[in-house]
Structure 1
Amino acid sequence: MSELDIWLVIGALVVATAVARSSLWLVGHRISIPKRVQEMLRFAPACALAAIIAPDILMSGGQLQTSLGNPKLLAAIAAAAFYWLRPHMVQTIVFGMLVFTAARLWLPA
């Protein structure tokens, strides 16, 4: 790939990103989104986060790891239980990281 090709690809990506991000800002006031769709879009960030985190928790070395010997799974379960009892996000993150660190140190590798 030549230097010109690289700059053309970068330019095309800049234009595509600018168009995608500014399209709703420029014409969004003319578009009405149905109430049901707006309600469903409330859950999009949580679904995207789960789709990113779940494979990291459940997969190791390309294989599914669902045993309690998996420190990430153990920490995720403990953090979910902690959040259910005390719904405070920062405390949940700290607790989950403490459980993860302890599990990594004490569980057999």
Structure 2
Amino acid sequence: MNDLSLWLIFLLLGLATTLPRASFIVLGNKVALPSRLQRALRYAPAAALAAIVIPDLLVVSGSVTPLNPKLAAGFAAVWVAARWRNPWLPFLIGMAVLWALQAMIKA
């Protein structure tokens, strides 16, 4: 592969990531998305967060482990977040559960 091909690939990848994002800014309200797509896009942030967090909760030492301290701490944090609207409490309870379970496993 020569240098020109490499630069062409960089340019095309840059356009492929920039154009879809810029289209919402450039087009603005001139083009309306279908209502079904707008409803589906409301779930995109939650889906992206789940795609980042769930593998970290399930994978321990390179293999999927459904019963592990991280997953239990994640469930505790979600339960606390659903029960109380305090933004710090899920973090505190989740970390407390994680540390307690890790200490019990080591003992």
Question: Normalised by the size of structure 2, how large is the TM-score?
Answer: 0.75
Are the counterparts in 1 of residues 57 and 71 from structure 2 also a CA contact under 8 Å? yes
Q: Deviations over 1:22-72 (max 9, x none)?
A: 1221123221112232122111111111111111111112322112xx110
- Alpha-carbon distance between aligned partners in 2 of 1:48 and 1:62, rounded to the nearest angstrom: 21
User: Which residue pairs with 1:40 in the alignment?
Assistant: 40
1:30 aligns with 2:56: no
Listed as ranges, the gaps of 5+ residues in structure 1 are none
Identity level (%): 36
Structure 1 residues 54-69: aligned runs within 5 Å: 54-67=54-67
Listed as ranges, the gaps of 5+ residues in structure 2 are none
Displacement of 1:106? 2.6
- Alpha-carbon distance between aligned partners in 2 of 1:100 and 1:36, rounded to the nearest angstrom: 40
- Alpha-carbon distance between aligned partners in 1 of 2:102 and 2:2, rounded to the nearest angstrom: 46
* 1:95 to 1:2, Cα distance in 2 relative to 1, 3 A: farther
User: Which residue pairs with 2:91 in the alignment?
Assistant: 93
* 1:33 to 1:7, Cα distance in 2 relative to 1, 3 A: closer
